[in-house]
């Protein structure tokens, strides 16, 4: 029974991903979006406005959110951007070690939030949004999708921060010269 349920869930996930891909295709008139969607989206982004790039990015984040099972720990997609930051454990994201898995480490997507402690002082709190096992056993495609999810999440978060500052600047009365 549980094996049948797993198969049904997997089929449902594939169907949802195909629906998301159709949405991307209709929004951006992409010819095809498949497992190599990232390079195709990059090529398309070269001619898009920042608003279109942002829409494109958020659709891809949503696809990866479902594909990586992030929805299991954070069921409301709109709420994943309330976190202050997002990071990876077990995979390097710095320039010098980008994409390198750290032997003996476990791969996790970590969301960072700030919550008051018992004294009211804000403390960083790490929340695991996805656990993917030991670094040595991580599939290369899965590794790339995990990295892509975190980077695209950060990209959207940067857009949100820019929006915030744009709104603040608009509130400032700038004297005319």
Pairing of strands 106-116, 122-134: antiparallel
Instruction: Examine the pLDDT at 159 and tell me if it is beyond 70.
Output: yes
Helix (H) or strand (E) holding 40: helix 37-45
Predicted confidence band of residue 25 (pLDDT cuts 50, 70, 90): low
Q: Where are the domains of the chain?
A: 2-168
Q: Rounded to 10 degrees, what is the CA torsion of 78, 82, 84, 89?
A: -50
Q: Are 28 and 51 in contact (CB under 8 A)?
A: no
The predicted-structure confidence for 89-135, as pLDDT tens digits, reads as follows 999 888 888 988 888 899 999 999 988 888 888 888 999 999 998 98
CA separation for the pair 84, 113 (Å, rounded)? 5
CA separation for the pair 149, 60 (Å, rounded)? 8
Q: Please state the pTM of the whole predicted model.
A: 0.68
Kindly calculate the radius of gyration of the chain based on its CA atoms and give it in whole angstroms: 19
Instruction: Examine the pLDDT at 37 and tell me if it is beyond 90.
Output: no
Distance of CA 81 to the CA centre of its chain: 9
Mean per-residue pLDDT for 156-170? Answer: 86
């Amino acid at each position: 029974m549980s094996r049948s349920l797993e198969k049904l869930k997997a089929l449902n996930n594939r169907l949802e991903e195909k629906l998301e891909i159709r949405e991307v295709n209709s929004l951006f008139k992409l010819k095809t979006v498949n497992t190599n969607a990232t390079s195709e989206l990059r090529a398309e982004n070269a001619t898009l406005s920042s608003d279109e790039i942002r829409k494109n990015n958020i659709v891809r984040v949503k696809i990866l959110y479902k594909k990586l099972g992030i929805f299991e720990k954070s069921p409301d997609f709109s709420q994943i951007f309330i976190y202050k930051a997002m990071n990876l454990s077990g995979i390097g994201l710095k320039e010098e070690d980008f994409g390198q898995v750290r032997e003996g480490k476990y791969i996790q997507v970590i969301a960072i939030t700030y919550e008051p402690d018992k004294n009211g002082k804000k403390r960083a709190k790490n929340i695991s949004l996805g656990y993917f096992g030991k670094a040595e056993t991580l599939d290369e495609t899965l590794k790339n999708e995990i990295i892509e999810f975190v980077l695209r999440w950060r990209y959207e978060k940067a857009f949100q921060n820019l929006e915030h500052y744009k709104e603040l600047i608009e509130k400032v009365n700038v004297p005319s010269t």
